[in-house]
Amino acid sequence: MAKSFLQHMRKWMTQKMDLPEDVMMDLPRVTMIGQIHIYIENHRGLLTFTDREVRLLLKQGQLLIKGEQFVIKMILPEEILLQGKIVEVIYLEQ
């Protein structure tokens, strides 16, 4: 019940204060440039990295990115820039 109330309050504040939902709701922001770059902000850490798969921990769930020839171009505590051929981006609920 308390979790639902907090989510409702965050959504209400986002609408009233005209703030981006990803900031207030603690959601990841995913920006893709074609199939070659993907930039993810507001993740909780890198769980898996291979040249064909990247898995990131989110506040709620995980983000799975599948493709080929992945290279991490930049990584910070809550941001990552991935380059390669992106085939699939999947949100996994926990």
Q: Where in the chain are the domains?
A: 26-92
pLDDT for the residue numbered 73? 97
Q: What is residue 59's DSSP assignment?
A: S
Q: Record the pTM.
A: 0.75
pLDDT for the residue numbered 26? 75
What is the mean pLDDT, run by run of 10 residues, along the chain of 94 residues?
67 65 71 96 96 96 97 96 98 89
Q: Rounded CA gap, 40 and 28, in Å?
A: 7
pLDDT for the residue numbered 81? 98
Domain 26-92, CATH number (from 2.70.150.10, 2.60.40.2000, 3.40.50.1000, 2.10.70.10): 2.60.40.2000
Q: Rounded CA gap, 48 and 29, in Å?
A: 19
pLDDT for the residue numbered 5? 75
3-state DSSP assignment of residue 66: strand
